[in-house]
Amino acid sequence: MRTIKHIAVFTSGGDSPGMNAAVRAVVRAGLYHEIKVSAIYRGFEGMIENDIAVLDSRSVAHIIDKGGTKIKSARSKAFKTKEGRQKAFNNLKKHNIDALVAIGGDGTFTGAHIFYQEFKIPIIGIPGTIDNDIYGTSFTIGYDTASNNAMKAVDMIRDTATSHNRLFFVEVMGRDAGFIALRTAIACGAKAVMVPETKIQPKELLALINKGKSAKKSSSIVIVAEGNENGNATELAEAINKLDPHFDTKVTILGHIQRGGSPTTYDRILAAKLGVAAVDALLKGKEDLMLGVYDKELTFTPLEKAIKKHNYIDKDLLRLVEILSI
User: Length of the chain in residues, anyone?
Assistant: 326
Based on the fold, state whether residues 136 and 281 are members of the same structural domain. yes
Q: How far separated are the first and last CA of the chain, in Å rounded? A: 58
Label residue 82 by pLDDT band (50, 70, 90): very high
Q: Which domain holds residue 17?
A: 6-142+263-308
Residue 217 has pLDDT above 70, yes or no: no
Range name among 11-25, 75-89, 197-211, 229-243 with the lowest pLDDT average: 197-211
* Whole-structure pTM value: 0.94
Q: Is residue 160 part of a domain?
A: yes
Q: Are residues 300 and 154 in the same domain?
A: no
1-15, 196-210, 254-268: which has the highest mean pLDDT? 254-268
- 314 assigned to some structural domain: no
pLDDT tens per residue, range 151-206: 999 999 999 888 888 899 999 999 888 999 999 999 999 999 999 988 889 999 99
Q: Report the 10 Å Cβ neighbour count for 16.
A: 33
Shared domain for 87 and 111, answered yes or no, is yes
DSSP strand pairing (36-40 vs 52-55): antiparallel
Is residue 115 domain-shared with residue 232, that is, in the same domain? no
CATH number at residue 283: 3.40.50.450
- How many separate domains does the chain show? 2
Q: How far apart are CA 211 and CA 54, in angstroms?
A: 60
Q: Is residue 281 part of a domain?
A: yes
Catalytic residue annotation = 131
The reply to whether 130 and 273 lie within a common domain is yes
Give Cα 113 distance to the centre of its chain. 19
* Domain match, 135 and 14 both: yes
Together in a domain, 273 and 248: no
Per-residue model confidence (pLDDT) at position 102: 98
Domain for residue 313, yes or no? no
- The predicted-structure confidence for 24-71, as pLDDT tens digits, reads as follows 999 999 999 999 999 999 999 999 999 999 999 999 999 999 999 999
Q: What's the CATH code of the domain at 252? A: 3.40.50.460
Please give the average per-residue pLDDT across 6-18, as a whole number.
96
CA 128, 155, 181, 313: dihedral to nearest 10 degrees? 80
**Does 325 fall in a domain?**
no
Is 185 part of a structural domain of the chain? yes
16 and 137 within one domain: yes
**Angle at the Cα of 227 (from 17 to 159), degrees rounded to 5?**
65
Contact 102, 12 (CB under 8 A): yes
Whether residues 24 and 97 share a domain: the answer is yes
Instruction: State whether 160 and 246 are in the same domain.
Output: yes
Q: Are 42 and 178 part of one and the same domain?
A: no
d(CA 223, CA 221): 6
Is 322 a member of any domain? no
User: Are both 112 and 175 inside the same structural domain?
Assistant: no
Cβ-in-10-Å burial (0-12, 13-18, 19+) of 78 comes to middle
